[in-house]
């Protein structure tokens, strides 16, 4: 039976982009959201933004993972 490593990386970096209130998928499959400086210095608002951004990332990763396992199992059944 295989083991699986779960890896998560969260970065908060200063940028000059416009503030967005929804996570946007990037070309590499990651998601990002731009928050204001006011939110960036508030632990509660920062945490809410991180959780709001990580949710679609988790859903996407789980979907890819489970699709891959399904394909692997269907190939093994043949």
Q: Is residue 2 part of a domain?
A: no
Question: Residue 6 is encoded by which pair of tokens?
Answer: 């779960």
> Domain of 71?
46-78
* Residue 31, strand partner residues: 25
**Better-scored residue on pLDDT, 46 or 76:** 46
Counting the structural domains of the chain, the total is 1
Whether 54 is covered by a domain: the verdict is yes
Within a domain: 36: no
Determine, yes or no, domain membership for 57.
yes
What would the pLDDT profile of 2-42 be if each residue is shown by its tens digit?
Answer: 899 998 889 999 999 999 989 999 999 889 999 999 999 99
Domain assignment present for 51: yes
3-state DSSP of the chain: CCCCCCCCCCCCCCCCCCCCCCCEECCCCCEECCCCHHHHCCHHHHHHHHHHHHHHHHHHHHHHHHHHHHHHHHHHCC
């Amino acid at each position: 039976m295989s083991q699986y490593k779960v890896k998560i990386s969260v970065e908060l970096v200063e940028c000059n982009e416009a503030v967005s209130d929804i996570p946007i998928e990037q070309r590499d499959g990651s998601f990002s959201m731009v928050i204001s400086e006011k939110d960036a210095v508030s632990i509660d608002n920062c945490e809410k933004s991180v959780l709001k951004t990580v949710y679609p990332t988790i859903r996407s990763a789980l979907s890819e993972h489970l699709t891959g396992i399904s394909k692997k199992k269907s190939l093994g059944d043949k």
